[in-house]
Amino acid sequence: MKHQELILASASPRRIDLLKQIGVDPAQIIPADIDESELKNEAPRDLALRLAREKARAIAINNNGKFIIAADTVVAVGRRILPKAENETQARKCLKLLSGRRHHVYGGICIITDEGKEITRLCDTIVKFKRLSTNEINSYIESQEWEGKAGGYAIQGQAAAYISFIQGSYSNIVGLSLYDTMQMLRGNDFFTK
């Protein structure tokens, strides 16, 4: 099955690998340089969708006539949005908050078609961590897998041993729901015979 050229508006190696897993090899990878700060009183699900939309639009400005896909992942406990852990202190706080609790991983996806049509979708995956011991948290911090990860963990690594329950898309937790992405691409004539 052939497909048209696609620009991925992300520098995430996980999203590149996920797209390749479903046979979509981006022709270009152009990270969108946008302000990812949350707005006052913005719900986590709204933040994920807005950032995906803004990333896609930022790249679409200079790339008319091409398919563009952008995504954003937001990890939240209730309405509390967890950061992309940039240091050990942030990662440790995230893990302590997630310990023994369920949380949501919201994945916003935005596709702008070659004709300029904009399609968005929100994926919501519920994840439950086991109660983490101090030793488990310390061990995970030492792994450094948390660096730059929303919520301070990467499910495709050692953190998988701490997760007792998932409801929804596994690939959404990694960075992009493959089911939803494929449905959006197929429904908008990305694939040709």
Q: What is the CATH number of the domain that holds 115?
A: 3.90.950.10
Region 18-29: mean pLDDT is 93
Does the pLDDT at position 5 exceed 90?
A: no
Residues 6+ apart with CB under 8 A from 30: 7, 8, 9, 59, 63
pLDDT per position as a tens digit, 78-112: 999 999 999 999 999 999 999 999 999 999 999 99
> How much is the pLDDT for 104?
98
Q: Which one of the listed residues 17, 46, 72, 114 is annotated catalytic? A: 72
Strands 6-8 and 67-77: parallel
| Cα–Cα distance, 185 to 180 (Å, whole number) | 9
- For 182, the domain range is 2-192
Vertex 45 angle, CA 41 and 50, to 5°: 80
DSSP H or E segment with residue 20 = helix 13-21
Other Cβ atoms less than 10 A from the Cβ of 114: the count is 17
Q: How many domains does the chain have?
A: 1
Beta strands in 91-162 (DSSP E): 102-112, 118-129
Does the pLDDT at position 193 exceed 80?
A: no
Asked if 72 is an active-site residue, the reply is: yes
Does the pLDDT at position 1 exceed 70?
A: no
Q: Return mean pLDDT, the chain.
A: 94
Say whether pTM exceeds 0.75: yes
